Amino acid sequence: MMTNTADSNTKKVSAPIANSDLSKPGISQDIINELSNEINNMLSFAVYNGITINTEVNSLIQNSNVDDLINAHNLLCKNVAPATPKSIEFTKKLHQEGKGKSVLNKLPLVRNLILLGILFLVIFILTGLSPEVNNNSLDKGMMNNHGLPLLLNIGYLASVSGLGVLFYLLKSVSKSVKEGVLLPEESIEYMAQIVLGVIAGLILAEILSIYLTDPNSINLFNKSILALIGGFSSDAIFSILQGVIDRIKAVFIPTSS
């Protein structure tokens, strides 16, 4: 009887200790659930895409303590790279929301880029058909043109720049979808990159073309190519301009030793 009493007393003491441990600061249950959810998503992604999975993950998941879950998560992140838990979750969400929808509506980002590409192509064709867009009008540039011819020439070069940046972005998005690395914030980034691409194309075609070639030899083909290159390589143009600015700043604002 005394043994039973002692056992009951021991049980009564141990319960409050367990509760007090749970009340201590640490990893919340929500984080643990999120870890488990991401592990399941990465396992599903790896199996579906034929990616080799580290067999140590199995024993780590079965133990289900926090240390093992973190180790399993780390191993799976290496297995599914360059995809990430965030990109896998976003791709899964797009797949679930796209059931029963048309091909374009399954991926809104790709749809928007295609629509913009069609818009730039229409502007390119319409401005190219105009008699106001020719070698002579493009040779004059923005400074010597005015009115409708100026608007049409700028529209022509901007459309070529837009086609260049969209050519790059659609290829990049296709690769991201294939590798499962597409992220939700990339839609905002791509919209900004389109604007930067158009600006870079106009800068290269209208400003830098004067210093890169003989102004007398500038024609429709040369400026179109420069606008296309500027749109396609907007990141490179930005880096070049940033390098020039940094060198100018270094001359007038020397760095302190």
Q: What is the pLDDT of residue 214?
A: 59
Residues 221 and 127 in one domain: yes
Does residue 61 belong to any structural domain of this protein?
Answer: yes
Residue 223 contacts residue 209 (beta carbons within 8 Å): yes
The tally of domains found in the chain comes to: 2
Q: What is the pTM of this model?
A: 0.68
Top pLDDT among 197 and 11 is at 197
Residues 58 and 148 in one domain: no
pLDDT range class, residue 165, cuts 50, 70, 90: very high
Residues 108 and 223 in one domain: yes
Residues 129 and 239 in one domain: yes
Residues 124 and 69 in one domain: no
Does residue 40 belong to any structural domain of this protein?
Answer: yes
Q: What is the pLDDT of residue 229?
A: 86
Q: What is the pLDDT of residue 14?
A: 36
Q: Give percent of the chain with pLDDT exceeding 90.
A: 10
State both tokens at 61: 């998941």
pLDDT range class, residue 32, cuts 50, 70, 90: confident
The yes-or-no verdict on residue 84 having pLDDT over 70 is: yes
Closest CA to 220 of 148, 103, 117, 130: 130
* Domain region containing 113: 103-252
The yes-or-no verdict on residue 172 having pLDDT over 60 is: yes
Q: Long-range contacts of range 185-190, CB-CB < 8 Å, 24 or more positions apart?
A: 186/109, 187/108, 187/109, 187/112, 190/109, 190/113
Q: What is the pLDDT of residue 7?
A: 44
* pLDDT tens-digit map of 97-148: 777 776 667 778 888 889 999 999 999 999 989 888 887 777 777 777 788 8
CB count within 10 Å of CB 4 equals 8
Residues 117 and 52 in one domain: no
H-helix segments, the chain: 2-22, 29-48, 56-63, 66-80, 85-97, 103-106, 108-129, 135-144, 147-179, 186-202, 209-212, 220-232, 234-252
Residues 108 and 215 in one domain: yes
- Any residues with CB less than 8 A from the CB of 38 and at least 6 apart, and which? 73, 85, 88, 89
Residues 155 and 227 in one domain: yes
Residues 120 and 224 in one domain: yes
Q: What is the pLDDT of residue 25?
A: 54
* pLDDT tens-digit map of 205-215: 877 666 555 55
pLDDT range class, residue 221, cuts 50, 70, 90: low
Inter-axis angle of helices 234-252 and 220-232, nearest 10? 80
**Region 197-218 average pLDDT:** 72
pLDDT range class, residue 36, cuts 50, 70, 90: confident
Q: What is the pLDDT of residue 66?
A: 83
Residues 66 and 20 in one domain: yes
Does residue 2 belong to any structural domain of this protein?
Answer: no
Does the N-terminal peptide bond of residue 131 adopt cis geometry, omega within 30 degrees of 0? Answer: no
Residues constituting the chain: 257
**How much is the mean pLDDT over the chain?**
78
Question: Poorest-confidence range of 14-23, 36-45, 75-84, 112-121?
Answer: 14-23
Q: What is the pLDDT of residue 121?
A: 94
Does residue 98 belong to any structural domain of this protein?
Answer: no
Does residue 41 belong to any structural domain of this protein?
Answer: yes
